[in-house]
Structure 1
Amino acid sequence: MRSGKLCGAAVVVALAATACGGSGGDGGRDTAGGAHGPGFPVRIADCKGATTTFPSAPRKIVTSNAASLEMLLRLGAGDRVIGTGFPPGKGALPGALGAQARKVPVLGKSVIPKEKLLGSGADLYIDTFASMNSMGRAGDAPSEEEFTAAGIKHLYLASTACAPMAGKPQRDLSGVEGDIKRLGAVTGTRERADALVAGMQKKTDKVHRAVGGIAPAERPTYFFFDYDAGTKQPVAVCRKQVANAVIGQAGARNVFEGCDGDFKPVSWEEVVAKNPDWIQLGVRHRGDAAADAKAYDEAAAFLKSFPATKGLAAVRNGKFLRIGSERTTIAGVGNADTVEEIAHTIHPERFKAAR
């Protein structure tokens, strides 16, 4: 885990936003030009109740990875992003979003080095994972005092940073939707945030009407196979990971919902014992459709040839879903699309009846 202090009261995680002053209706306009704007100041409370105040929208933002970067791009605040770590892979974001993302300077292909982050000139750093071990470089994580000294406000995505610390699992997309709305409040793009969330809810509500009434015991079991995490030892998505909510909202049962936290290495013996009805081939985007298809084929071929898994009914019957890892395990608007795709694949009769 990352340095223990990151899970304490000093961590600023966007859990609740309160607009103080103004009408709160900014029409999606960029309010960063003045000391104050409509809907400001905005106060964001962390997991422990401590608050960070934004008297106006930030002008220069650095994101830790593709999740918060994509949210800002969709909110129309991408022109204020001056750098990112863990940039989205080629093809991970569609069309114009991908083109915008490629223009953002990459400050680190993985974790942004401490000195580069503190010297970036940013006035806001949005971090996705409070519990990550900085990929083995915990010493690179600036302290809150160092962020303050550099004039950088520090926020986390609650759906990924707070979730592992929370006492309850993620069963719906309210955490992701809350992050989008909080970033909308902070960047002065509230109306755009509301529209994005409304679009997500329209999709998930339709799915819920079709499959929400299926009793838990009657739902097909589901294993997210993170092929890119390696095949020697599988990594399970647990009940506090965004993917658990995606799977549950789609009318399936995550076979590893019983494990606490967000991710956990498991054994192939455990996977076989769960005997999932469906397996998602979790592959990260390779850059184009042909490369993605090749990776999905490789993941399926592994399961069909690996002695521990080739006898599973789901493998023998080809009960595979070819859905990208990014929009399943990374918080974002695409989570709702994944809910739709899973639900339509495993419950096609429910949607035929709804037509």
Structure 2
Amino acid sequence: MLALVVLSGCATVAASPAPPAAAAVTVTNCGREVTVPAPPARAVTMEQNATEILLSLGLADRMAGTSYQTDPVLPALASAYAGVPVLAKLYPSREKVLETRPDFVYSTFTSAYAPDAAGPRAGLGELGIPAYLSRFACEKSPAGFTFDGLFQEIEEVASLFGVRDRGASLVAAQRARLAAATKHDETSVLWYYSGTSTPYVAGKGGVPAAVSSRLGLRNVYGEAGVTWPAGNWEQIATRNPAWIVVADLTRGGDGDSARSKMDFLRSNPVTSKLDAVKAGRFITVPGSSLDPSVRSIDALEAVNARL
């Protein structure tokens, strides 16, 4: 049996070839049946979140391509990632995807299946290519993020690749880290994702909401009806959060990097008076950890440790 290795907060296993023969596996995924007649051997992942899930399951040698890298790959996965062909800086075209002769396509965002990307899942299915989409990004009625839902997705993907034991080991490692978190007595927190003139903050249904619930925090925009609502600074000043979690995004836009966010908060006449700003109560997390992935537990641990 392959040994499990836990490195840099991510469980990985040594790679191995697909089983020579196995029964077909079918799952119901976002309202569609996805069937693999045998464990995929030429998978394409459409963005980094999906990529790191497969790499964490030790499946680098069964990946025909990857795309849309937003952050440096987790250190524990870097050498495995180096052997996977990169199809495009952002999303590859449908033609580019088909050139790889994939037997499985996996995405954690609906946008990957747009006509100018891989194309609709139904169309890929008609070509005999199973196309899987994260339950948190379903075309209709996507699920709100929960850690249990993430773990179910990891185990489901592992079952499609015929590596159920690896999925169980990865989930067990993440569950153990989740169980180690402590409660923080309704401490108020603002999750600041991007923007300066209009700040985009965390509402309900996403990773920040799940982290807040798990740690016993009070998200000052927890009542918002969407995952990433537009806030305003006067309202934030009234709510005066005790802590501000700043997402560090690498895309280079206004208010994307953690440094630009903190500089703005200190210089803006309204936000400079916030108790959290005056006391320097900032918590920085990678932006990618706020999307459902093996990194989501990293966001929880970073907040928990700083508090």
TM-score range for the pair, normalised by the shorter chain length:
0.7 to 0.9
Q: Structure 1: how far apart are the matches of 2:112 and 2:221?
A: 22
Residue equivalent to 2:212: 247
1:261 deviates by 3.6
Residue equivalent to 1:63: 45
Q: Which amino acid aligns with 2:178?
A: T
**Aligned partner of residue 238 in structure 1, secondary structure:** coil
**Aligned partner of residue 165 in structure 1, secondary structure:** coil
Q: Structure 2: how far apart are the matches of 1:265 and 1:164?
A: 23
**Aligned partner of residue 87 in structure 2, secondary structure:** strand
Q: Find runs of 4+ consecutive structure 1 residues off by over 3 angstroms.
A: 27-31, 137-141, 295-298
1:320 deviates by 0.5
Residue equivalent to 1:47: 30
1:30 deviates by 5.0
1:265 deviates by 2.9
Structure 1 residues 115 and 245 mapped into 2: Cα distance closer, same or farther (>3 Å)?
Answer: same
1:189 deviates by 1.6
Q: Is 2:167 aligned against 1:193?
A: yes
Residues 67-82 of structure 1 mapped to structure 2, 5 A cutoff: 67-82=49-64
Q: Is 2:161 aligned against 1:161?
A: no
1:341 deviates by 2.8
Q: Is 2:290 aligned against 1:317?
A: no
Q: Is 2:100 aligned against 1:120?
A: yes
Q: Structure 2: how far apart are the matches of 1:300 and 1:120?
A: 43
Residue equivalent to 1:266: 231
Q: Which amino acid aligns with 1:51?
A: E
**Aligned partner of residue 121 in structure 1, secondary structure:** coil
Structure richer in helix, relative to its length: 1
State which of 144, 156, 167 in structure 1 corresponds to 2:121. 144
Residue equivalent to 1:86: 68
Q: Structure 2: how far apart are the matches of 1:163 and 1:197?
A: 26
RMSD over aligned Cα atoms: 2.7
1:166 deviates by 4.5
**Aligned partner of residue 273 in structure 2, secondary structure:** coil
1:73 deviates by 0.5
Q: Structure 2: how far apart are the matches of 1:283 and 1:164?
A: 29
Aligned length: 290
1:140 deviates by 4.0
Q: Structure 1: how far apart are the matches of 2:116 and 2:51?
A: 24
Q: Deviations over 1:59-89 (max 9, x none)?
A: 1111111101001101001121121221242
State which of 13, 17, 20 in structure 2 corresponds to 1:34. 20
Q: Structure 2: how far apart are the matches of 1:77 and 1:279?
A: 37
Structure 1 residues 267 and 114 mapped into 2: Cα distance closer, same or farther (>3 Å)?
Answer: farther
Q: Deviations over 1:224-250 (max 9, x none)?
A: 222xx4323222223121222123212
Q: Is 2:196 aligned against 1:220?
A: no
List runs of 5+ in structure 1 lacking aligned partners. Answer: 1-26, 287-294, 347-355
1:298 deviates by 3.6
Structure richer in strand, relative to its length: 2
Structure 1 residues 335 and 164 mapped into 2: Cα distance closer, same or farther (>3 Å)?
Answer: farther
Q: Structure 1: how far apart are the matches of 2:125 and 2:139?
A: 25
Residue equivalent to 1:11: none
Structure 1 residues 42 and 224 mapped into 2: Cα distance closer, same or farther (>3 Å)?
Answer: same
Q: Comparing 179-188 with 238-247, which one deviates more in the overlay?
A: 238-247
Residue equivalent to 1:301: 263
Residue equivalent to 1:202: 176
Q: Deviations over 1:308-334 (max 9, x none)?
A: 31111111111101222222x122233
Q: Deviations over 1:145-181 (max 9, x none)?
A: 42124331100112x31498247x43x4111111111
1:123 deviates by 0.9
Q: Structure 1: how far apart are the matches of 2:63 and 2:79?
A: 14
Normalized against structure 1, the TM-score is what?
A: 0.73
Q: Comparing 261-270 with 232-241, which one deviates more in the overlay?
A: 261-270
2:36–2:160 contact (8 Å) kept in structure 1: yes
Percent identity reads: 26
Q: Structure 2: how far apart are the matches of 1:300 and 1:173?
A: 29
State which of 88, 91, 96 in structure 2 corresponds to 1:111. 91
1:86–1:108 contact (8 Å) kept in structure 2: yes
Normalized against structure 2, the TM-score is what?
A: 0.83
1:297 deviates by 3.7
Structure 1 residues 311 and 331 mapped into 2: Cα distance closer, same or farther (>3 Å)?
Answer: same
1:101 deviates by 2.1
